[in-house]
Structure 1
Amino acid sequence: MSTIKDVAAQAGVSISTVSRVINHPDSVVPVKRQAVLAAMQALDYRPNSLARALVSQRSDCVGLVVGEIDSPFFAQLMAGVHRVLLDAGKHVIVTAGYHQAEQERESIRFLLERRCDALIVHAKALPEEELAALLKGSTPVVLINHLLPEFEERCVYLDNEEGAYLATRHLLSRGHRRIGYIGSNRGIEDGADRERGYQRALAEFGLEADRKDQVRAFPDEAGGHDAMAEVLRRSPDLTAVFAYNDAMAGGAINMLKDSGYAVPEQLSVVGFDDVILARLLSPRLTTVRYPIGEMGALAAQLVLHDLEERFPAVEQPRRFTPRLIERHSVRQVSPDAN
């Protein structure tokens, strides 16, 4: 493997000249700059990016902390961030916090130690005071899916309560009155917000949310399967279920089919997120669209402007509004049949 000394020897210049070409090319006369670049190409020399960042104070990398690496939801976030930063000539380093405070903390520490120029952070377990301290630091930071008081301009977030309200309101508008909720057992605000939206919609129709109609489980397909079984055991007269996310809705539909229920003929199901799974299920899932890819793109635009003024300021609301996507997993019923 070639070294900077090899490049200097082949180009007939000093090591410091090679270093200037790498880090500050405009400071080197064209003849010497071209000689160094030709030597680097001939020797297939690749500068050490971390060492270069130490000199230039720029790594051209943005760190991204997601909740989970293997999630279709966070894949959309990663894609939204990456598309914008790639077009800007930047790179993305991704790590995951898995909704655990210590893992989120370690992920942020890792990215800062790699001298990332900015961070985009999805963190649900860290204390708010710790996130506030991070936002006050010298590295530009944008929070995804988290609204932190006094830092609203640095937060890109969704109105989760409104999304759950839309989902439940849709079922009510189709005549359903016995509506269950299968939620997440993770202690994060998304779950509490969605539960409030579910309850608000019921209250508008003069209905009170019954605790026995609500079951919490791990927010994946297996959790949705188990929660659906439990809520039916408690409340066999339900005509519809709203699920915390599409994965849980998919697990619920599988459980219903395995138990001989027809969806939506005997029981309607609505999800939340609108990941690709929602379009692959049978029946295709009515759900609430969470525009996480667009949110990631906005976060990337925000940090780009922080880093370089040549990137335009973003004049766009940081709060995103969910939208109901109607497909085939809900049927009309008579309210009298509930």
Structure 2
Amino acid sequence: MNSRVNELITIKEVSELAKVSQATVSRAINGHSSVKEKNRVKVFNAIEQLGYKPNTFAQALASNRSNSIGMLVGSLDGPYFGPLMHNTENIIREERLHLIVTSGQESKTKEVDSIEFLASKKVDGLIIHSDKLSDNELIKIAEDTPASIILNRNIPELAGRCIWIDNELGGYLATKHLIDNGHTKVACITGQMSKVESRDRLQGYRNALAEAGIAYDANLVIEGRFDHEGNHETVHRLMSRNKGFTAIFCQNDNIALAVYNVCSDAKLTIGEDISIVGFDNDTYSQHIRPRLTTVSFPIEQLSYEAAQGVLALINDRAHTITEKLAPELIIRNSVKQLNSDKAG
């Protein structure tokens, strides 16, 4: 890079080196779609050579943009939100924008505070993954910030701006796989029932039972958490009910990991004494033994659709998002075949 990084390098110098007008330089810096690709490349090559650092505050005033996108998530870590933020930021940064992320931490007050904080930063668009805000509240936020994408929610009034996974189908696929392998006593450890994905996955579980003519038994269902907190105690409580179940549908792989640990302590063998299906297809699910059969959550696709959707709204360009994403059952070795006519 040019040694003049710390000196005052002007748009005029960039335009002279790139052999384009100063107006073209300004439009390229501010992401205008009217700039031809070859000129955009010239401008940013010149910027790189000169070490030009645009004044972001001046840019924001000139373009009425902050060149940033706000994102609300449930948590700043974990096997779901971590990749979601990482993948989304990668796409946003390709457009020379920045992602500002804040979390709701399962609190409506904190979610509202987070949205207000992002609004105070004059973000150009929002990507919202909310557990606590109502549909009406999200509709109001989308009215205030038209370039908004809502994750994990299907709101008819915001058609074309909502992206969600078919969690009900995922719960159905997991439970049906256990039933197809001869398990008629199938327990379910849910995530927090305050979360829509937990309720949808439970409905999928119930759908699979009903389809197979198996009566729903509330004593086979217990509420856990999607994080690691308290799940070992939850598994112990479920097992102490002595309901004679041969399989458990765990609503995420963290819960399944707790089942593995409790069963190991109790000298029970997963895939023999008890069968398990998880949800999320976390990295470790293929490395634990036996390898975990689980439902794959398309986080990369969710990230892509969210980022491209908000960028299209900001730049007023055509883009049709895929609103409903399909989960996929990943069959491994944690389910025992009890019947003789189905493959496990």
TM-score range, shorter chain: 0.7 to 0.9
Amino acid at match of 2:93: L
TM-score by length of 2: 0.82
Contact 2:128 2:149 in 1 (8 A): yes
- What per-residue deviation string (whole Å, max 9, x for no partner) do you get for residues 266-286 of structure 1? 001111111213223222211
SS of residue paired to 1:150: helix
SS of 1:221's partner is: coil
Aligned counterpart, 1:203: 210
Alignment partners' CA distance in 1, 2:229 and 2:106: 18
Following superposition, the deviation at residue 161 of structure 1 comes to 0.8
Query: Are residues 185 and 317 of structure 1, via their aligned partners in 2, closer, same or farther at CA, if it must alter by over 3 Å?
Result: closer
Normalised to the residue count of structure 1, the TM-score between the two structures is 0.83
Determine helix, strand or coil for the equivalent of 1:65: strand
TM-superposed CA distance for 1:87, in Å, is: 2.0
> In the aligned structure 1, how far is the partner of 2:138 from the partner of 2:128?
10
Counterpart amino acid of residue 243 in structure 1: C
Which runs of 5 or more structure 2 residues have no equivalent in the other structure?
1-6, 13-21, 28-42
> Structure 1 residues 53, 139: CA separation in 2 closer, same or farther (over 3 Å shift)?
farther
Give, as a single letter, the amino acid of the residue that structure 1 aligns with 2:322.
P
CA shift digits 1:282-330 (9 cap, x unpaired): 2221111111221121111111111224x5x333431111111111111
Alignment check: 8 A CA contact 1:185 1:217 kept: yes
CA distance in 2, matches of 1:116, 1:61: 5
Measure how far apart 1:8 and its partner are. Answer: 9.4
Among candidates 285, 298, 319, match of residue 324 of structure 2: 319
Q: Which residue of 2 aligns with 1:154?
A: 161
Question: 1: CA distance between counterparts of 2:54 and 2:272?
Answer: 63
Q: Say if 2:289 is the partner of 1:282.
A: yes
The residue type paired with residue 299 of structure 1 is A
Q: Does residue 131 in structure 1 map to residue 138 in structure 2?
A: yes
- 1:172 alignment partner, SS class: helix
Deviation at 1:47, TM superposition (A): 5.4
Q: Is the 8 A contact 1:124 1:146 kept in 2?
A: no
Matching residue of 2:280 = 273
SS in structure 2 opposite 1:111?
Answer: helix
The farther-off stretch of 115-124 and 75-84 is: 75-84
Quick one: which amino acid aligns to residue 292 of structure 1? I
> Residues 163-178 of structure 1: matches in 2 within 5 Å?
163-178=170-185
Alpha-carbon separation, structure 2, partners of 1:211 and 1:261: 24
Tell me the C-alpha RMSD between the 2 structures: 2.8
Report the alpha carbon displacement of residue 169 of structure 1 after superposing the two structures with TM. Answer: 0.1
Indicate yes or no: 2:77 matched with 1:58.
no
| Paired position in structure 2 for 1:234 | 241
Q: Contact (CA 8 Å) 2:70, 2:123: kept in 1 or not? A: yes
Match of 1:328 in 2: 333
Superposition deviation, residue 7 in structure 1: 4.1
